[in-house]
Structure formats: C-alpha cells, structure tokens
Structure 1
Amino acid sequence: MDTVLLSRWQFGITTLFHFLFVPLTIGLSTIVAVFEVLYWLSKKPVYDKAARFWFKLQVVIFTVGVASGIALEFQFGTNWSEYSRFVGDVFGPPLAAEVIFTFFLESTFFGLLIFGRDKISSRMRAFSATMVSLGAIMSAFWILAANSWQQTPAGYQIKGGRAILVDFSAAIFNPSTFPRFWHTLDGAFMTAAFFVIGISAYFLLKGRSADLANVSMRVGLIFALTATLFMLVTGDIHAKQVAETQPVKLAAFEGLWKTQPRAPLMLVGIPLPSEEQNILEIIAPGFLSLLAYGDIDAPVRGLDDFPKDQWPPVSVCFFSFHLMIIIWSFLAILVLFAFFFRKKLASKRMFLKVLILSIPLPFLANELGWIVAEMGRQPWVVYGILLTYQAASPLPWWYVLLTVSAITLLYVSLLFLVIHLLKREISKAVTNG
C-alpha cells in the first residue's frame, strides 16, 4: 500500500463530498436573497413563501457543507503536514481572511434568519439574506485564491526550504484567481438554478403548491439561462489562462500529443496514453489554436513538449473535461426549451420529469471540473515547486487506510441523511399545498 496514494484518496473523497454542497450553498443563498428582496419590495405573500421554503433547504445544505469543510482543513495538518510546513506562510493568510472577514459575516446573518426571522422586519430579512449571499461569495473568493496559488504560484520566495510570502497582493491575485473564481461562481449559480427548477417541476407534476412552483420556476429559469450562457465566457477565459500558465494540463484534457500549429479541437475520440495517440477521432482543425490563443495558426504545446514524469493522468483529465462539456451542452439545450415552454410547463409532464432527473447533472459537472483542475496539476501539489509525494505526512499506510474507510462510510451516511431531510421538507411543501 502507498501512503501518498491513500492520502490523496482521502483528500479527494473529502473534497468531492464537500464540493457537493459549496456551489449549491452559494447559488441558493443568492436565490433566497432575491426572494427576500422581492417580498420586501412588493409584500406579496408568494415571495415570502418561496423565501421560507428555499431557506429551509439552504439550512440543511449549509450545515453539512460547513462540517465537511472543517474536516477538509484538518487534513492539511494530519495527512499533508509537509505541505503545511512548506506553504503555511502563503496558504494561511487567505484562509484566515476567509474566516475573519467572510465566514463570520455569513454565519452571523444566517443565524439571525434562523432564530429571528419572525422577529425582524422584511427589510432586515432582505438585508440579512443579502449579507449571507455576499458572505458565501466572498468566502469562495478567498478559498479559490488560496487554491489558485497552488495552480499559479506568485508573490513568494523560497527560503529555508519553505515558501515565504513577500507580496500578499500578488499571491492572492495570482494569474488564475479571477478566471477560476468567476467560472466556479457561475457553476454555483447554474447548480442552484437547476436545483430550484427541478424541485419546482416536481411541484407542478404533483399539481400542488402551484404558486410556489411558478414563482420559483420563473426565478430559476432566469438564473439558469443567464448562468448557462455566461459559462461560455467564463469557460473561455479560464481555458485561455490554462493555455498560458499550465499548457501541459491543456494538452492532457484535449488529448494533444504533439506540439503543432493549427492544433485541432477533438470533438470525439479516445486517448491511448500507452501508445500516445487517439482513436475514433472527430476533430475540428485549428479550433484549439483559435480557442486557446485567438489565432487559428498559433502553435499549441503538446504533451511531447514536457517530460513524461510531469504528465498529468491523461485519460482522467480528458474524459472528465469532455463529459463536463457534454453535460453543459445538454443543460444549455434543456434551459432553452424550458424558457421557450415556460408558460406551458405545467402541461408538459414528460419534460417536467426530464427537469427533475436533471437535478444531479450540474453537481456532476462541478465535480468533473474540480477533478480536471486538481488532477491536471499533478504530479505537482504546488505547480512547478512542490511535488505531491513530497507534501505528504510520514504516516503508516494502515492508519491512512483506516481513516479513508471511516470517512467514506461517514460521508455516505451523511449524504443519505441530507437527501432524506431535503425530501422531507419537499414532501411537507407538497402536502401543505
């Protein structure tokens, strides 16, 4: 057994579980804030009803997200102590800023909405919900700034075998921070939008809570359409940044084995890393060069331009990236049809079922995007500076295996509990009409 591999599995499982809840928390907190503001401005009871219902679901999601996030941070000290020693001076400040400036903001007003909702005015409720949304978004920024530093490190010097922070601004606003932040934030809004749309479709299918379903569907569709279209922009910006700063990652998720001008964009294909070629290809000649550099004749660096021991796992990156694109394409078509049929959705029973079944797809796309980002950085834990195997704690393999098993069992149990609690709240809304 390999301690490093087991530690990577443990961190990966924890991260993927945690990231089920983070995007939904961010997006749903914004949607709840919209309903609270609409109620404050219009005093229409339906907006109050919508705000209350979606906030109940938000409470469940937020709670599990915070708990899993704490477990994630503990692993920096338990499984990745060498990493913590090496980057603590750089990685610590943004995490501290996230807690001091954003988490306290978010949790304070979140608590006010939980315990004092009926004791404060509608204006204060709207303000509190907006602060929760702002806190969630700002929290995401600080976490992504810290993680982006691992992708494109800046503002540091190596002294005494450690990365020392010399320019806080350069470290926080490193080349990948804003591309990743806007792309992740957009993914969060997409996730929450399709979550709201899917549950609203369930209400319409059951013929209950029509007022809640209709207003939620309208707001969900606006968020979904905007976020889905904006994903073209954020995805393009992020891809260009990756091409500039992590070209080996781009080569891996596009299956580009050789450096070449007019590099093709692979639309369909299967990479064979052992043979360094692709089979069953359908390509668009020159389109990778055009998308990456804005010039159809621009050369794009292939995997042959890098030592093999610095290649990320090509198949994992390739299939994760392309499946993410397929999911986005399907959701884009789905939301366009939903927007077109928005006045007749209640009668489109089969389409409503498709909307319900599509709820997990944005979650899957988020997870795949995270896999591409993190696996594409391998074998580095800090790109170009610290290798992953150098960052792990010197633990016995059986200890890590035991904790991996325990964490996996715990997270599976928690996931079933979350699904049960969400289903219970939704069933209550259906029963009460």
Structure 2
Amino acid sequence: MDPLDIARWQFAITTVYHFMFVPISIGLSAMVAGYETAWLRTRNPMYLRLTKFFGKLFLINFAIGVVTGIVQEFQFGMNWSDYSRFVGDVFGAPLAIEGLLAFFLESTFLGLWIFGWDRLSGKLHVTCMWLVHLGTLFSAYFILAANSWMQNPVGFLFNPDTGRAEMTDFAAIMFNKVQLVTFPHVLLAAYMTAAAFVVGIAFWHLRRQPPGSEDATMWRKAVRTGAALTLVSGLGVVIVGDFQGKVMTEVQPMKMAAAEALYETEEPASFSVFTIGTPDGKEEKFAITIPNLLSFLATGTFDGEVKGINELREQYQETYGEDPGAAYYSAGDYTPNIPITYWTFRFMMGLGFAAMAVAAWVLWATRRSRSPQGRLLFTAVTLLPFMPLFANSMGWIFTEMGRQPWAVFGLMTTARSVSPGVSATEMLISLITLTSVYGLLAVIEVRLLLSAIRHGADPIAEDELPRVRTDDDADKPFAFAY
C-alpha cells in the first residue's frame, strides 16, 4: 500500500470527524450566551433553564472536540514532516497565537462560567460565556488563516538554502483575500449548524408537552429562536459564499472548473444542478443545467468566461513544469478528483438550502403559539441538525480535494508533503488505532448527548435562582454547576 494514500485517508477521517464538533461549539456558545443575556434582561426562568440545558450540551461537545482536535497537530509531525518543515516558519505564528490566546481564553473563562454560578455577578458570569465565544472566534480565525495561506500563499519568501517558506508579512497572511471571505463563511455556517441543532432538540421536547403548558412555551421559544437563526445565518452563508466563489475563481480557477466538471472553456458558462456522466467525469450523458449561472458564480457577470480544465491544465504544466525531480513540484495534469469535487460542491449547497427551507417551514408551523404534530414536519426537523452539519463536511472536502494535487497551492504538492521515513505499515497501524479511538469517542459523545437531551431542562425553584454575589460570599467555595 502507498504510504501517501494511507496518510491522506487518516488525515481526512480525523479532520472531518473533528470538524463536526467545531461549528456546534462556535454557534452553541453564542446561543447559550444569548439565552443567559435574555435571562438577565427579563428574569424569566425559562431563559435560565435553556441556558443550563444547552450549556450542558455545549460542554459535552466542547470536551470531545478538544480531545479530537489534539490529534490534528500530532499528525503534522507523524505523517507530514516534509510539509511541516516547509510551512513551519509561516504557520508558527498564527498557530501559536491560536493556542496561547484563543484556547486559553476559551478554557479559562469556560472554567469561570462553570464554577461561577452564585459566585460571580450575573453580568460578569454571562460575560464569561461571551468571552468563551470570542475565544472560539479567535481560534477559528487563526486556524483559517493558516488554511487560507495553503489556498493562496502570500506574505512569504522561499529560501532555497533551507527549502522552507519564510514569513515576511504577518498582516498579509492574516488578511489574505481568501481568509477574508472564508472566515465569515465558516462562522455563519457554524451559527447555522448550532441553531439547527437547537431546533431539532427543542422541537422533539415541544411535541411531548401539553399545549399551553409552561414547558411548551419554553421549548417553542427555543424552536423559534433556533429556526430564525438557522434561516438568517443560512442567507448569510449564501451571500458570503457568492463572494467566496469569485475569489476562489481568481486564485484557484482549476477548483471552480472542477466544481462544474467543466473541461472546455465556456463564455458564458452554465451551472448543472444534476449530471449523469462517465465514472471519470469527463463525458456528460445527461444534465439539468441553469444557463449562465456558473459565469455569475465565477465572475459576477452572466456572460463571463470560465476557463475549463483542459486549458488550465496546459497553463499549469507550462508554469509549474512536468519534471518530477523539480523542487516542490511534481509531474501530472494538476487536476483534482472531478467526481468528488463536483458532487461535494452540490451536496454542500443542497443540504444548506434544505436546512433553510425546513427552518422557514418550522417558523410558519409554530406561528401564533401553534404546536404542530404532523409526522412529515417532525421527520424533517429530526433530520434538520444533520443538514448543515454534513454541509460543513462536504464544503471542507470540496475545499481540500479541489486544491489537489497541491498541499500548498503552486508551491508544494501533497505527494512531496508526506513523511519520508514512515512506512506504510506504521501509517496503517496509526490509521486503524485513531479510527478506532474516534469511533469509541463517537459512541461516548452520542450516549452523553442523548442522555442529557432525554433528561431535558431541569425545573428551577424560586430559591434556586442565581443571586447577586455579596461580601458575605467572600469565603464561599466555587461549586461545579453540572
């Protein structure tokens, strides 16, 4: 077996798995902070119950996400040592800041939030959760800055003596044009994912409550706030995604051509909603197309030219060469896997639009204090949390597969990134071990979440409401709230 293929499978499995926790953590931290803010403003116990309930789900998700995320950094040294050596001087600063600033911000204030009930004032306590959310944003920004540099390398010089890329402009890396569209796209997708997560859980509880009861009112509020955020953030994803597509066409035209399986340059170019073709994606048998739409997605005009794979392949071979011995370049046609890029692009968009449609349906069905009981709506809402979650995964698979064969676009191929001293057997053992551990963590995560979800939001008696801290509490120990 080829060590490169095993290394790629391992990185894909662990990364896609880890990123299932990331958007929920980002978005749910904001929603928990929002519910607690509503509690402080209204003193309505309903919002406090929602804060504690979804706060518990956030903690479970955050803990598993941290564990699975640690492996990502180790993989760079284990399986991708040549890549790490090449990008180390560039990635060192943003990833160090992510660890020292963002992660410590998250963990410190999350600890204060967990143990600070009845010890911190209400405003200070909710500020802790808002700072946790801010930490997740910082973390996402610095990590995405590193990934955006892989898509569009800027702010560096290549040192031929050391064979490394060396940072020359930190600001250029932090404000890379790819980064400026990728970060809001990922952030809005995270809000959409967490909101759909809230809708699915709250709707399940709403159907179990007697109409007009206090609990029914609480869960309906959660359903409607979650559905509204799903719809609004989904619209934001679409708008930012449009800008992202145009930037992608500018810096990685091959990725846009691969997203449409467009082999010949077209002006204007149509977008295919659905295509049946040969297994290699080179020949179209049947397609449902929207005229001129691809031109708009790529160029912003309905009659713009979109370069095809064949023309771009010739340009890349002329620019980057075909000599497999050339430093940081390899032979080949510089074409990604067309079927994967084509379908992941459509699954990403299709699942996102489906989630928005279900959210709009939920808002309509729950208007004027209604409690919908229809089986079809219940089935749709049950599937709703998975729609943006898998759309995120499809988006990242498209982003990373569409860049192939490059690890760092135009500088270093994936084939030259793998660790030269690690055997296929060692990588296979690592792949099996990590996949097994991640499978075990998945079982633990699902059981913990289902147990907490079934338990529901605990009622809160009047004497159990958090009170404002006084001087008499100076020697009172911190208490674990969960």
TM (normalized to structure 2)?
0.87
Instruction: Return 341-350 or 140-149, whichever deviates more.
Output: 341-350
Q: How many corresponding residue pairs?
A: 433
Provide the rounded CA distance (Å) in 2 between the counterparts of 1:117 and 1:275. Answer: 58
1:360 is matched with which residue? 386
What CA deviation, in whole Å up to 9, does each residue of 1:375-423 have, x standing for no partner?
Answer: 0011000011000011111211000001101111111111111010011
Task: Give 1:28-427 correspondences, 5 Å limit.
Answer: 28-159=28-159, 160=161, 161-207=163-209, 209-272=215-278, 274=280, 276-307=282-313, 309-343=333-367, 345-350=370-375, 351-394=377-420, 395-427=422-454
Helix, strand or coil at the partner of 1:148: helix
Contact 1:89–1:163 (8 Å) recurs in 2:
yes
Q: 1:430 to 1:96 in 2, by over 3 A?
A: closer
Question: Do 1:36 and 1:125's aligned partners in 2 also have CA atoms closer than 8 Å?
Answer: no
8 Å contact kept, 1:151–1:382: yes
Matched to 1:342, the amino acid is T
Give the Å deviation of 1:215: 2.3
Contact 1:145 1:177 in 2 (8 A): yes
In the alignment, residue 357 of structure 2 is paired with which amino acid? I
* TM-aligned CA deviation for residue 273 of structure 1: 6.1
Q: For residue 115 of structure 1, what is the amino acid of its counterpart?
A: F
Q: Which has the larger radius of gyration?
A: 2
Q: CA deviation at 1:30?
A: 0.4
C-alpha contact 1:338 1:345 (8 A) present in aligned 2:
no
Check whether the contact 2:224–2:362 (CA below 8 A) recurs between aligned residues.
Answer: no
Which structure 1 residue ranges, 5 or more long, are not aligned? none
* Deviation readout 1:57-111 (Å, 9 max, x if unpaired): 0001001111111111111111111111101000111101111221111111101
Name the SS of the counterpart of 2:371 in structure 1: helix
Q: Which moved more, 1:293-302 or 1:187-196?
A: 293-302
Q: Is the 8 A contact 2:27 2:194 kept in 1?
A: yes
How far has the Cα of 1:348 moved from its partner?
Answer: 2.8
Looking at secondary structure, tell me which structure has more helix per residue.
Answer: 1
Alpha carbons of 1:180 and 1:345: their partners in 2 closer, same or farther (altered >3 Å)? farther
Describe the superposition over 1:329-380 as per-residue Cα deviations: whole angstroms up to 9, x where unpaired: 2112111111122225523332133202222111111100000000001100
Q: Percent identity?
A: 38
**2:173 and 2:355 mapped to 1: Cα distance?**
35
Contact (CA 8 Å) 2:49, 2:459: kept in 1 or not? no
Deviations 1:165-187, CA, capped at 9 Å, x for gaps: 01111122112101111111111
| Cα distance, 1:116 vs structure 2 | 2.1
Conserved in 2, the CA contact under 8 Å of 1:265 and 1:283?
Answer: yes
Instruction: Give the Å deviation of 1:306.
Output: 2.6
* Contact kept in structure 2, 1:255 and 1:266, CA below 8 Å: no
Displacement of 1:277 in angstroms is 2.1
For 2:292 and 2:372, locate their aligned partners in 1 and report how far apart those are by CA, in whole Å. Answer: 45
| Structure 1 residues 271 and 207: CA distance shift in structure 2, 3 A | same
